[in-house]
Amino acid sequence: MKFVDPKNDVAFRKIFGDEKKTFILISFLNAVLKLENKEDKIKSVEIVNPFQLPRIKDLKESILDVRAVDNSNREFIVEMQVENKPYMSKRVLYYTSKSYISNIKKSESYMNLRPIIFIGILDFTMFDNKDYLSKFLITNAETNTHEFKDFELNFIELPKFNKQEEELETIIDKWVYFIKNAENIEMIPQNVDDKGLLEAYQTAQEYMWSEKELDLYDYMGMRKTDKLLELQFAQEKGFKSGLKEGVGKGIEKGEYKKAIETAKKMLKKGFDKDSISEITGLSLDDIEKLNCFFCACPEFNFVNEKESFCSIGSRFGKKIEFNGGFLQDCSKCFMAHKRGFIRRYIKKFR
């Protein structure tokens, strides 16, 4: 049994934005907001932007959120973010405020403004606290009373969540475990007893997806990788002189890992191996190990001599245990042999 990655744009919206399976989103919202009492729980939602499969050629901008309105006329914005964009906190405030004021026209009463509850699922850390779930409200600084109730911001920081399957106790633990780990597990955990979460696992099973959906899923995974590379490489380019200076002092253990990551991105950008070696301080032998042995697929990467992985998480690949480690098995993957994939990378190397 193989699951897609819920953090992928297409998977996220297919799982949470299905207007025929709103009980999935309802379960997740109740879990995040810790609505345990029957009278407080969300009972129904209307998804404002239900999932529809677009054609790749028509896909200009990824839709990262799912919007819904519940039976109490509250609006929910659930967003998946894998990259820490500049001024993230300001962006969230702008985003929620814009949604808030768009609820009414100029001639309408303020009474028609709907409360906005934002839930951001972050694949990076944003706050200094240790808890993976954070809630922000507008309160009186002196009395700590909650008077302005129309705004609520919730954040789930996935890197802070490290619980294993046997440690999952609450429904929110189980939901976050699903979002973070689904692509790396082979069976639905035995402790899943919530109808919505169980359906989320079933929706995430690859065999339930059409070929068109899987093609778009792979495309969005590759596009996200490219976008991150462009952003990160632009940042790293500014540190080029600093890296060169660091080479003269020798690469420490932590710097070695960083150099490997830089080298991977440079390979995908078409830099020759001599230039990569000069800038990162890595040996040519180290750089040679970054590509797949059989087809030099730029998505095949080594972490160390006992661990390798696929950058785009190709659904045709798998992990195998070997010599005390886990290596990426590409024997059944032909992504790097497809005309579109090859054309995409040839264009990059020109």
> Got the DSSP string for 250-292?
---HHHHHHHHHHHHHHHHTT--HHHHHHHH---HHHHHTTS-
Residue 223 is predicted with a pLDDT of: 64
Q: Give residue-wise pLDDT tens across range 38-80.
A: 788 999 999 988 877 655 444 444 446 899 999 889 999 999 9
Q: Model's pTM, two decimal places?
A: 0.65
CA distance 25 to 16: 5
Q: Give residue-wise pLDDT tens across range 272-298.
A: 677 777 777 777 777 666 655 445 677
Q: Domain residues of the chain, as ranges? A: 9-209, 212-349
Is the predicted pLDDT of residue 339 greater than 80, yes or no? no
CA angle, 330 then 179 then 306, to 5°: 35
Amino acid at 43: K
CA distance 308 to 299: 10
Is the predicted pLDDT of residue 158 greater than 70, yes or no? yes
CA distance 31 to 196: 11
Q: Give residue-wise pLDDT tens across range 227-263.
A: 555 555 554 554 444 444 444 444 455 566 677 777 7
Collapsing DSSP states into helix, strand and coil, what is residue 17? coil
> Please, what is the average pLDDT of the chain?
80
Position with higher pLDDT, 293 vs 303 = 303
Structure tokens at 37: 């009492």
Collapsing DSSP states into helix, strand and coil, what is residue 303? strand
